[in-house]
């Protein structure tokens, strides 16, 4: 389409967006293991919830499995646990199979695991606010014996939750939840159980919080919002919901430009774009390029906070460990 015929489109890029420190660490862990030991490197579960990232690592020699029994017995190849964290039984199983296991769990998820363990040791019933079936929730609940953790997913569940001992409760949360939804659930639980112990520091991670705040800033200023991310990515789904909550009438989650439902974006004059914590910047650029084919695009970045968080690689993959 000739430039003169293209309608104008103001694009507001949310910042921060995309990769967080935990995701960078997990991807780097797989790439470093491949560089040190050569392929194959086995990875239990998607290292992060992004098809583009996973396919890129597969091309380099990573082999993704859902359970350890899928890894060939007796292999000397590294077996990496994903950023979402795993139940205690998984590293125990790996040790029994004599696997060279490397834990790429995000340190902020590990913090939640430790909190839950400490509460349990102190005799408290642990309430976990999160989404059933999410790998992070499975991993956190799997730190403790069956029945020690009670999962609360919604405000409605919080209103009817019945603890064993209302005076001996603590709560923790999945790291990738909606800030607003979680605050509502916590408020209900605290009102019902005033003695409930809270985390020393917020469990919802800095990256989830920062990306939601950026969306809240941009969404009221635009006609539509695109969140680049995977449908099974909790933090990406929460970004889409945050845009809707701020009154953005079109808020779509897409993995690639090929998934854009163009009729939905007919007649827009402004567009917000963000990306979930496991979506690489190259996919954001792909989305912008797709709109640039149809519009005269003017891109602005809306900054809310500067992120400088860094997590070192798992110990087995650090340079001094390989010498």
> Which active-site residues does the annotation give?
136
With a CB cutoff of 8 Å and minimum separation 6, the contacts of 196 are 127, 169, 170, 171, 189, 190
Tokens of 117: 């363990």
Cα–Cα distances (Å) from 24 to 19, 74, 146, in that order, read: 6, 30, 32
CA 38 to chain CA centroid, Å, is 28
């Amino acid at each position: 389409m000739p430039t003169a015929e293209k309608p104008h489109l103001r694009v507001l890029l949310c910042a921060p967006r995309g990769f967080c420190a935990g995701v960078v660490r997990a991807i780097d862990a797989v790439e470093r293991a491949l560089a040190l030991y050569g392929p194959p490197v086995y990875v239990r579960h998607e290292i992060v919830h992004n098809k583009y990232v996973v396919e890129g690592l597969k091309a380099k020699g990573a082999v993704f499995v859902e359970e350890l029994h899928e890894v060939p017995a007796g292999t000397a190849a590294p077996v990496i646990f994903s950023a979402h964290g795993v139940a205690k039984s998984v590293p125990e199983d790996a040790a029994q199979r004599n696997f060279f296991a490397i834990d790429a769990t995000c340190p902020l998820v590990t913090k939640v695991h430790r909190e839950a363990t400490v509460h349990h040791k102190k005799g408290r019933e642990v309430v976990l606010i999160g989404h059933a079936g999410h790998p992070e929730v499975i991993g956190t609940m799997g730190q403790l014996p069956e029945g020690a953790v009670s999962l609360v997913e919604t405000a409605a569940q919080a209103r009817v939750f019945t603890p064993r001992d209302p005076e001996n409760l603590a709560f923790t949360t999945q790291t990738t939840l909606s800030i607003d939804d979680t605050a509502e659930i916590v408020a209900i639980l605290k009102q019902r159980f005033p003695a409930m112990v809270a985390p020393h520091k917020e469990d919802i991670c800095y990256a989830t919080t920062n990306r939601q705040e950026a969306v809240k800033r941009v969404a009221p200023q635009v006609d539509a919002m695109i969140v680049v991310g995977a449908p099974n990515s909790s933090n990406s789904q929460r970004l889409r919901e945050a845009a809707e909550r701020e009154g953005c009438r079109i808020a779509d989650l897409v993995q690639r430009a090929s998934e854009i439902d163009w009729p939905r974006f007919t007649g827009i004059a402004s567009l917000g774009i963000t990306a979930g914590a496991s979506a690489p910047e190259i996919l954001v650029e792909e989305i912008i390029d797709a709109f640039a084919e149809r519009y005269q695009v003017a891109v602005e970045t809306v900054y809310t906070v500067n992120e400088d968080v860094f997590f070192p690689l798992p110990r087995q993959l650090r340079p001094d460990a390989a010498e």
